Amino acid sequence: MMPKERYVKLKEYLSEENPVFLDVIEKYRALDSVAHDLGFLSLKETYTSHISWWPMISILGTFSAGKSTFVNDYVTQTVQQTGNQAIDDKFTVICYGNNTQAVTLPGLALDADPRFPFYNISDEVNKVDPGEGSRVNLYLQLKTLNSPKLKGKILIDSPGFDADSQRDAILRITSHIVEMSDLVLIFFDARHPEPGAMRDTLKHLVATTLAHKDANKVLYILNQIDTTAKEDNLEDVIGSWQRALAQEGLISGNFFGIYNEDAAITVEDNARLQRLKGKRDNDHARILERMDNVGIERAYRIVKTLVDRAKEMAEEQIPLLHESLQNIRRNVWWSNLLAALLLLSGLGVLQWQFHWFHTPTDLLTGGAVVVLILFGVHLKAGRFFTAKETEKWKEKRPDMARAIQHNTSWWRLLFGYGAHWKKGAKAKLNTLIVQGQEAIQQLNDQFVSPSGSQSNTPK
């Protein structure tokens, strides 16, 4: 889907949800335009495809950590199978549907539908696991269910996670989910294994979430804490998991302890039961509150992403691109100078030894040959140093590699490096940053009313 078509579809979807979004979409269009001009995005790409415009909650975690049970409890229906062993090895996207019973659709339904955050995910899978993109049905499925809890949001239940045994495709999809989600719930099992026995899994999950700029959207949940009642060591168990997470870099974060009351063990000591229940009720209520407010958080996140990308382009991408182009230009002109000196020296020797140039016509012909040779050297040197600079960025920053290639085509090598850049690129980005901040203020006007007026309450 081309960017123009995506803008139209987004407007159709969001026209009745929140009028602020319609203006924000135009700001994304302006941001895309700057990125297209500078080469950070291809003309077929748009930053609107890098975020979810639908409120999205992902649920990740280890095997038998109670993820599916939590989902079933949340939607008040049995939509996911549960058990102590791995039940499903697919990512399940769950959204609202008109059917009273859950309807399961293949992963292709997600990969081919631009309304979902997994549009063209097969291309991402192919990048890390060539050929696996065509087998997207092995990794994804879509379930629809008539549950009021699902209205206005998407849930994603992940397969049990084990960093040691996961394929690259699973790890890539996991990273994609964390990037796109408005809220990420990561479940751990208070029963087993001990934190130290799953170091690699902890390391990957924590590293994946810490790398994201908005780590506040990640909730770490220790499930089935009722199993600590027998030893009466709730605080010790929670402490050991928090220390294990801290060792992987999570110095601070949202950490919760819960259990499912329907599946809980019998606790005869009333004092222990009340202490566990108090912890569970408080943390469970806070988790549900975050889930219920995901639409509001998503609204702010969409605007914040616009501002962050504009700042990144103005403060990081453009300076890096300018530096790379300057390196190419410097190397090319040193090559030109060296070639010119060698040519002039050679011509001087020829004139001294053989007296080649007798007439003005001879001089003009010799000059034309020199210009053609220098032009060829200029182009070849440009291609060589462009390829060298592009290779430096190819793996760690594909956007930079693309922009370098975009700014060093043959005619740009001839007429100047980066001469086509609009002088107002940074000014446009700064304008978008200001407009993004104004959009946040408009959202505040919808959700915040210090005066107590009812006119600002959202629809």
Task: Give pLDDT tens digits for 222-261.
Answer: 998 888 888 888 888 888 888 877 777 776 668 899 998 8
317-328 pLDDT per residue, tens: 998 998 898 888
Quickly state the pLDDT bin for 457 (edges 50, 70, 90).
very low
pLDDT of residue 419: 46
Min mean pLDDT across 116-125, 191-200, 385-394 is at 191-200
Higher-confidence position of 193 and 244 = 244
* Domain 53-292 belongs in CATH node 3.40.50.300: yes
Quickly state the pLDDT bin for 32 (edges 50, 70, 90).
very high
Per-residue pLDDT, averaged over 134-155, amounts to 85
Nearest partner of 269 among 238, 240, 234, judged by Cα: 234
pLDDT of residue 28: 94
Min mean pLDDT across 91-100, 297-306, 352-361, 380-389 is at 352-361
| Residue 122 pLDDT exceeds 90 | no
Rounded mean pLDDT of the chain? 81
What is the C-alpha to C-alpha distance for residues 384 and 362, in angstroms, rounded to an integer?
A: 33
| Residue 348 pLDDT exceeds 80 | no
pLDDT of residue 99: 78
pLDDT of residue 158: 84
Q: Are 188 and 65 in contact, with CB atoms under 8 Å apart? A: yes
pLDDT of residue 193: 55
Min mean pLDDT across 211-220, 273-282, 299-308 is at 211-220
Residue ranges per structural domain of the chain: 1-50+306-459, 53-292
394-418 pLDDT per residue, tens: 888 999 999 998 888 766 666 655 5
Query: Helix 270-292 to helix 234-247 angle, to the nearest 10 degrees?
Result: 40
Higher-confidence position of 333 and 192 = 333
Q: 65 phi and psi, to 5 degrees?
A: -90, 0
Per-residue pLDDT, averaged over 140-144, amounts to 87
Higher-confidence position of 125 and 23 = 23
Burial call 58-96: b when 16+ CB within 10 Å, e when fewer? bbbbbbbbbbbbbbbbbbebebbebeeeeebebbbbbbb
